[in-house]
């Protein structure tokens, strides 16, 4: 990987992170552990990407790049998980009937482990990147807001499982990519055959 390319990737991720943290009130951590990133050629071919989540604190969101897309890993607190339960009647596909997640993530929290949400951070409407909005953003988001993500392009809202709110321009939920756990502190994005 050339230095220029690393710089560009870093700049893109910093920009994405700044957008998330600035609007969110949700802490964001983006570890720049470049050594475990695959080569440019391997990434272009869709190679899986390992994410070290061992230092991700409750409530934090980490962004990794996979196949040129941002993938979010959010460590959800109990309150965040409760908010997903309470959002069932606000979202258009509460049971994730549209197959936008692997079978093992077709459950209440759309995840393998309830604590960790793994999503492709690209809006299902026209491809913008939504921003995290904590429950403290109610003044902006409305009194019944429970926390989640807002797409800045046309206002689609998603809950903390990536389920789209009713009436939003986005037609379906956010994608859950194939993934697996190599250990408690390492997620493999893009491959669900190697780990648990």
Contact residues: ligand FES, CB under 6 A = 123, 125-128, 151, 153-154, 156, 169-170
Judged by beta carbon, residue 51 or residue 122, the one nearer ligand FES is: 122
Residue 195 and residue 116 in contact, taking contact as beta carbons nearer than 8 Å: no
Judged by beta carbon, residue 118 or residue 164, the one nearer ligand FES is: 164
CB of 126 to ligand FES, least distance (A): 4
As a three-state string, the secondary structure of 93-119 is CCCCCCCCCCHHHCCCCCCCCCCEEEE
Judged by beta carbon, residue 116 or residue 158, the one nearer ligand FES is: 158
Find tokens 């909005």 and name the residue: 133
CB of 91 to ligand FES, least distance (A): 15
CB of 122 to ligand FES, least distance (A): 9
CB of 129 to ligand FES, least distance (A): 9
Q: What is the DSSP letter of 180?
A: E
Q: How far is CA 9 from the centre of its chain?
A: 18
Residue 127 CA: distances (Å) to CA of 92, 121, 148, 182: 19, 9, 17, 30
């Amino acid at each position: 990987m050339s230095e220029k390319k690393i710089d560009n990737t870093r700049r893109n991720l910093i920009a994405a992170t700044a957008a998330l943290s600035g609007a969110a009130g949700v802490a964001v951590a983006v570890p720049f552990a470049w050594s475990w990133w695959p080569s440019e050629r391997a990434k272009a071919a869709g190679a899986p990407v390992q994410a070290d989540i061992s230092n991700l604190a409750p409530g934090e969101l980490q962004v990794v790049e996979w196949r040129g897309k941002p993938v979010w890993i959010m460590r959800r607190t109990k309150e965040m998980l409760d908010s997903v339960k309470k959002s069932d009647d606000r979202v258009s596909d509460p049971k994730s009937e549209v197959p936008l997640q692997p079978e093992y993530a077709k459950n209440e929290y759309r995840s393998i482990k309830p604590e960790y949400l793994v999503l492709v951070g690209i809006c299902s409407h026209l491809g913008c990147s939504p921003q995290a909005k904590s429950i403290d953003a109610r003044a902006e988001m409305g009194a019944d807001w429970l926390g989640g993500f807002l797409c800045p392009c046309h206002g689609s809202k998603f809950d903390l499982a990536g389920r789209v709110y009713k009436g939003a321009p986005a037609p379906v939920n956010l994608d859950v990519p194939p993934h697996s756990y190599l250990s408690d502190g390492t997620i493999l994005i893009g491959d669900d055959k190697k780990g648990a």
